[in-house]
């Protein structure tokens, strides 16, 4: 009865008989013998009848409590009775306990493989030591084998890229959108590789993708009958970039209106005798000095007739940055660099502080001004106020700029649903619309397109394109040109329920695995971990 109870605990449903147990403080050695029926030859699958011999195998089993378990299993070697079979003898394998060439039980191997899938090499080895499992990182990684990819592609296939090294090398992840699982991982993002995969795995009917042209080319070559679906989130992201670029181009309109409003408000304030302050000069901050040096380096190379691409490679910067430094005056670049500094909590109160400083001819206490603006709602520290007063006395104080919302902030107001905006946001957006007709037009077109996306009204897309092509700002017209080039996929994205949402989720998971291991491990191991994780 005792051995039967041990068999039920250690080997439930397995054809073995426990013959003895030797226990120590940290190891449990179990003597067992196979009781299964004669096995089948692994080559010809004929069931054996004659026993050749028997020998003892040593297997590591899953720990029992705090004790390591070792199974000494006695198994039989059989003759293969079929004369045409190339195998003379073979060893029986106990189902659920042993496997060929394994020194661990099937259950323990499953544990180790699950740990390796979740953690990889070294982290998995550290956890195994905590769990009293004997396994090194090499053995754990050897358990990771990528599953076989099905011969046919899923009906709805999602494709997207991910970066091995951002800006340099990329891979491709393929996802079964209906099942929500990764199908395969490709080592690059070229159209040739993806087209070859589609050719080897036919059957795809719908392909969800972003605006990557390489994938479009591959689909047209290898799966011309498949319906391409442009992802709605990427469409809104591209539109958001066009709206933000429009706001950047017309920022002077916003600043001009804000300065006019500030001037009208100051006209109502009684005049105060101005105080002559030292001339303002830019502080020697790191960003200011870096802008000066970059301007000098670029113009020195331009004088030597270097091309823009050569300068970008030499200085390791983008070509657009080279063009901006070539076409913009140094003073304007320095002012732009100065304006990058964060405004902080003191910015709304700088106009009041400057006025009080001028009124008192500089003879005013920082503590007194701190208490005054604190009564007006200031929540910052006293030291910030004192630093601003010191900058006023030294002539390095930043001039008070008109309160102009940033292009990104304006874009967020435009792209968000109207019901989510507060009254203050609606008021500020109204002021922006009154300041610039081009931003107003971009706002109206963006909101109309957003409604098409959110309500999937693809049948109205052509009407929106014709309307936007008439008088839209230049960035919006560029977005319209992209829609015309990919009209069928965009229309499908605004009509069909499929999207790349599940693909983006898997891309995030791939990035997590890649950052934990890639660069120290191979692409094959990364692919195995991606495909084996649920």
* pLDDT for the residue 157: 94
Q: Which of the residue ranges 145-149, 485-489, 511-515 has the most confident prediction, judged by mean pLDDT?
A: 485-489
Question: What residue spans define the domains of the chain?
Answer: 2-103, 110-142, 156-231+499-532, 237-249+406-493, 272-394
Across 28-37, average pLDDT: 88
Q: Name the pLDDT band for 120 (thresholds 50, 70, 90).
A: confident
Q: Name the pLDDT band for 335 (thresholds 50, 70, 90).
A: low
| Confidence check: pLDDT of 105 > 80 | yes
* pLDDT for the residue 401: 57
Measured CA to CA, the distance from residue 489 to residue 208 in angstroms comes to 9
- The secondary element (H helix, E strand) that includes residue 430 is helix 423-435
* pLDDT for the residue 280: 46
pLDDT above 90 covers a percentage of the chain that reads: 26
Measured CA to CA, the distance from residue 440 to residue 453 in angstroms comes to 20
Measured CA to CA, the distance from residue 227 to residue 489 in angstroms comes to 7
* pLDDT for the residue 303: 92
Across 191-204, average pLDDT: 93
Q: Name the pLDDT band for 271 (thresholds 50, 70, 90).
A: very low
Question: Degrees (nearest 5) of the Cα angle 460, 485, 321?
Answer: 115
| Confidence check: pLDDT of 339 > 70 | no
* pLDDT for the residue 461: 92
Please check whether residue 333 is in contact with residue 325, taking contact to mean a CB–CB distance below 8 angstroms. yes
Across 205-219, average pLDDT: 88
* pLDDT for the residue 404: 73
Top-confidence residue, 342 or 234: 234
Across 304-308, average pLDDT: 90
User: How many CB atoms sit inside 10 A of residue 408's CB?
Assistant: 12
Looking at domain 156-231+499-532, which CATH architecture does it have?
Answer: 2-Layer Sandwich (3.30)
Helix axes 474-485, 461-471, angle to 10 degrees: 150
Tokens of 275: 């105080």
| Confidence check: pLDDT of 38 > 80 | yes
Please check whether residue 482 is in contact with residue 238, taking contact to mean a CB–CB distance below 8 angstroms. yes
Measured CA to CA, the distance from residue 226 to residue 207 in angstroms comes to 7
Pairing of strands 156-165, 169-176: antiparallel
Q: Name the pLDDT band for 277 (thresholds 50, 70, 90).
A: very low
Q: Which of the residue ranges 249-253, 334-338, 496-500 has the most confident prediction, judged by mean pLDDT?
A: 496-500
Torsion of CA 524, 526, 532, 534, to 10 degrees: -160
Measured CA to CA, the distance from residue 13 to residue 160 in angstroms comes to 45
pTM: 0.66
Measured CA to CA, the distance from residue 461 to residue 491 in angstroms comes to 7
Phi, psi of 379 (to 5 degrees): -120, 10
* pLDDT for the residue 195: 93
* pLDDT for the residue 4: 58
* pLDDT for the residue 208: 93
Top-confidence residue, 15 or 302: 302
Please check whether residue 260 is in contact with residue 449, taking contact to mean a CB–CB distance below 8 angstroms. no
Pairing of strands 227-230, 206-209: parallel
Collect all residues with Cβ–Cβ distance below 8 Å to 479 and sequence separation of at least 6.
238, 239, 242
Across 393-417, average pLDDT: 77
Instruction: Return the closest-CA partner of residue 449 out of 493, 387, 410, 485.
Output: 493
pLDDT digit string (tens) for 340-392?
444 456 777 877 787 777 777 767 788 888 888 888 888 788 888 888 888 87
pLDDT above 70 covers a percentage of the chain that reads: 89
Top-confidence residue, 47 or 338: 47
Tokens of 85: 């079979």
Out of 123-137, 300-314, 428-442, least confident range: 123-137
* pLDDT for the residue 398: 59
pLDDT digit string (tens) for 235-247?
999 999 999 999 8
Taking the alpha carbons of 41, 44, 45, 49 in that order, is the dihedral positive or negative?
negative
Q: Which of the residue ranges 200-204, 332-336, 341-345, 385-389 has the most confident prediction, judged by mean pLDDT?
A: 200-204
Instruction: Return the closest-CA partner of residue 470 out of 484, 482, 461, 480.
Output: 480
Measured CA to CA, the distance from residue 185 to residue 485 in angstroms comes to 28
pLDDT digit string (tens) for 51-98?
888 889 888 888 887 788 888 999 888 888 888 888 888 888 888 888
- The secondary element (H helix, E strand) that includes residue 32 is strand 27-34
* pLDDT for the residue 242: 92
Tokens of 428: 């500020």
| Confidence check: pLDDT of 474 > 70 | yes
Out of 8-12, 247-251, 505-509, least confident range: 8-12
Across 282-294, average pLDDT: 76
Q: Which of the residue ranges 148-162, 247-261, 358-372 has the most confident prediction, judged by mean pLDDT?
A: 148-162
* pLDDT for the residue 68: 85
Top-confidence residue, 4 or 418: 418
Q: Name the pLDDT band for 269 (thresholds 50, 70, 90).
A: very low
| Confidence check: pLDDT of 162 > 80 | yes
- Helices then strands, counting H and E runs in the chain, come out as 23, 10
Measured CA to CA, the distance from residue 29 to residue 4 in angstroms comes to 16
Average pLDDT, the chain: 84
Collect all residues with Cβ–Cβ distance below 8 Å to 462 and sequence separation of at least 6.
none
pLDDT digit string (tens) for 175-184?
999 999 999 9
């Amino acid at each position: 009865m005792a051995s039967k109870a041990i068999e039920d605990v250690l080997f439930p449903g397995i054809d073995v008989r426990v013959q003895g147990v030797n226990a120590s403080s940290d190891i449990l050695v179990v003597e067992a013998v196979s009781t299964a029926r004669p096995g089948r030859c692994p080559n010809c699958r004929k069931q054996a009848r004659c026993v050749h011999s028997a020998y003892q195998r040593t297997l590591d089993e899953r720990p029992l409590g705090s004790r390591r378990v070792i199974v000494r299993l006695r198994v039989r070697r059989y003759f293969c009775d079929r004369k045409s079979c190339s195998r003379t003898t073979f060893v029986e394998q106990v189902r659920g306990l042993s496997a060929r060439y394994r020194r661990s039980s099937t259950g323990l191997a499953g544990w180790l493989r699950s740990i390796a899938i979740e953690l990889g090499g070294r982290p998995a080895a550290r956890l195994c030591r905590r769990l009293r499992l004997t396994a090194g990182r090499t053995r754990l990684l050897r358990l990771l084998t990528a599953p076989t990819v099905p011969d046919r592609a899923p009906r709805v296939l999602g494709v997207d890229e991910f970066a091995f090294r951002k800006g340099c090398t990329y891979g491709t992840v393929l996802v079964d959108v209906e099942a929500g699982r990764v199908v395969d991982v490709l080592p690059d993002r070229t159209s040739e590789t993806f087209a070859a995969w589609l050719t080897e795995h036919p059957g795809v009917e719908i392909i969800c993708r972003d605006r990557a042209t390489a994938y479009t080319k591959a689909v047209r070559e290898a799966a011309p009958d498949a319906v391409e679906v442009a992802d709605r989130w990427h469409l809104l992201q591209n539109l958001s970039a066009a709206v933000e670029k429009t706001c950047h181009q017309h920022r002077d309109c916003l600043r001009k209106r804000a300065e006019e409003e500030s001037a009208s408000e100051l006209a109502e304030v009684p005049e105060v005798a101005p105080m002559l302050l030292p001339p303002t000069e830019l502080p020697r901050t790191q960003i200011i000095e870096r802008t000066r040096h970059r301007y000098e380096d670029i113009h020195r190379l331009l004088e030597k007739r270097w091309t823009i691409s050569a300068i970008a490679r030499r200085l390791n910067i983008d070509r657009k940055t080279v063009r901006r430094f070539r076409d913009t005056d140094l003073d304007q670049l320095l002012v732009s660099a100065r304006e990058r500094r964060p405004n902080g909590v003191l910015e709304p109160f700088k106009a009041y502080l400057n006025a009080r400083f001028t009124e008192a001819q500089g003879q005013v206490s920082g503590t007194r001004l701190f208490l005054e603006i604190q009564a007006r709602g200031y929540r910052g520290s006293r030291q910030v106020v004192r630093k601003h007063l010191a900058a006023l006395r030294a002539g390095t104080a930043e001039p008070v700029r008109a309160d102009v919302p940033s292009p990104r902030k304006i874009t967020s107001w435009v792209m968000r649903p109207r019901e989510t905006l507060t009254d203050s946001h609606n008021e500020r957006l109204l002021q922006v619309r009154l300041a610039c007709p081009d931003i107003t037009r971009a706002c109206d077109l963006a909101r109309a397109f957003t409604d098409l996306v959110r309500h999937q009204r693809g049948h109205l897309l052509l009407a929106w394109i014709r309307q936007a092509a008439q008088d839209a700002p230049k960035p919006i017209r560029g977005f319209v040109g992209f829609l015309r080039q990919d009209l069928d996929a965009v229309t499908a994205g605004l009509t069909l329920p499929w999207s790349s949402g599940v693909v983006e989720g898997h891309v995030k998971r791939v990035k997590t695995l890649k950052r934990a291991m890639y660069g120290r491990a191979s692409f094959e191991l990364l692919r195995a971990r991606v495909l084996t994780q649920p």
